[in-house]
Each structure stands twice: as structure tokens, then as C-alpha cells.
Amino acid sequence: MLNNFHTPGDRLLHAGRASLAYAQTAMINRTKFLREAPVEFYRQLYANLESFINRAARLKLSPLVRLNVASDLDFLSVARDFPRITFYDYSKVFSRANSDSLPENYQITFSRSEKTANEKLTSILSKGRNVAVVFDVEYNP
């Protein structure tokens, strides 16, 4: 049985549901799946996205997907292959956040670090994109 709770002294790497042990185990398993069987991983991902599009249509909703939660992988090709889904992402990869060739259905927020030069932020912000600034504070759920 997995421990789905953290004690107040734990230093958490994630917040919300991603901080639960079962969610972290699932993320690790998906990462292993991608590394060990990438063709099958993408086959399953594409099938899941198609199913999600159909479900959203039945419910008269617009599908919205965030593929990176605890990773910073380049899923731009997936976004290009699914123009009916809006993808959103947070990334520390400046070249991705600053790219002039992002798909219209891909929204990115650049995650600023303490080492990010102000010129990089200006470039991203001038394109109408968002920047997230993270502060190192004690997490107190």
C-alpha cells in the first residue's frame, strides 16, 4: 500500500494531487514506459487524446491538455497533430518558450529561474507569453 500523505516536515517537489504517492508512482511508470517503449507510449497517448476529443465533444466542452506536469519534455509534435486540443505547458526551456513557430493550439508559460537574464524575459513577454516566477517558500498545505 502506498502512503498518500506527507508529514508537515516533508519537502515536497509537487503540489496538489501530484504530491500524492500514487500520482508520483504513476508519473514514474509513464516515464519508464516512454523510455522503454516509445512507439507504444505514443500509440497509447494518441489513442487517449482521440478518446478525450470525442468525450469533450459529447459533453460540448473544449479539450484542454497539459502533458508536462513533472517533466519538461518537448511535446510540440503532439500539439501539431491534435489541432482540436488546446495544450498548455510550463517550461524552463527558453528556446521553446521564445520560439516563433509554436502551434496556435499551444500555450506556454516560461518558468523563470534565479539565473534567467532579464533580456530573456523581455523577449518572451514581448511575444505576449506568460512568465512564472517561483519563490522558495515553505510549503504549508
pLDDT of residue 112: 93
Closest CA relative to residue 66, chosen from 91, 37, 36, 96 = 91
pLDDT tens track for 93-105: 999 999 999 999 9
Check whether 44 has a pLDDT greater than 60.
yes
> The whole model's pTM is what?
0.79
Mean pLDDT over the full length of the chain? 86
Query: How far apart, in whole angstroms, are the C-alpha atoms of residue 46 and residue 44?
Result: 5
Judge whether 67 and 78 are in contact, CB under 8 Å.
yes
pLDDT of residue 1: 30
Amino acid at the residue 139: Y
Give the model's confidence band at 19: pLDDT under 50 very low, under 70 low, under 90 confident, else very high. Answer: low
Closest CA relative to residue 79, chosen from 92, 67, 61 = 67
pLDDT of residue 18: 58
